[in-house]
Amino acid sequence: MLPKINTLLYACDLENQTQSAIELVFSLALTHQAKIVLMHVMEPLNPQAASMIHNYISDDVLETMRNEANSHVQQRMNTLLKEFIERHQDELSELTIEPETLITSGLPAEAIQQAAQQQGADLIIMNSRTHSTIGQMVLGSTANKVVHSSDIPVMVVPIK
């Protein structure tokens, strides 16, 4: 039996160059009548930065800043979806499941895989920027980490 795609997890960094990836996500959702979960991962501060910030900013202020950052990201995600759907409303008229958004925090590769498992995703779709070979060997990339450790299929859309 061929695998069924019911849920697509689109891990998006919310940069401006996501057009080709989001088009592919919606095309697959239409083809498979699948649910789209648009997710974004908020990376934690490194320990040194977190320590410095805690020395100067109270926990209440930090919590307010986190909430404002989450609200800003949620607004960007909603705007991205709204503008895309409005621009392609004729083509997307048969989309039966409204896209969902998800904001998580943590190390991106781990957070993406955890979200995919929690959402019951059948396919992870993500962007990957073009990096030099040396840059990938030294730094690695989130997409590379997810591809090599995921239990479900991962589709990587190159952004140049």
Torsion 74-118-37-40 (CA) sign? positive
Distance CA 36, CA 115 (A): 13
CA nearest to 121, candidates 110, 113, 129, 130: 113
Whether the CB-CB separation of 138 and 105 falls below 8 Å is answered with: no
Q: Which amino acid does the sequence have at 158?
A: P
Question: pLDDT by residue for the chain (160 residues), tens digit each?
Answer: 888 999 999 999 887 777 788 999 999 999 999 999 999 999 887 888 778 787 888 888 888 988 999 999 999 999 999 999 999 999 999 988 999 999 999 999 999 999 999 999 999 999 876 655 655 554 448 888 999 999 999 999 887 6
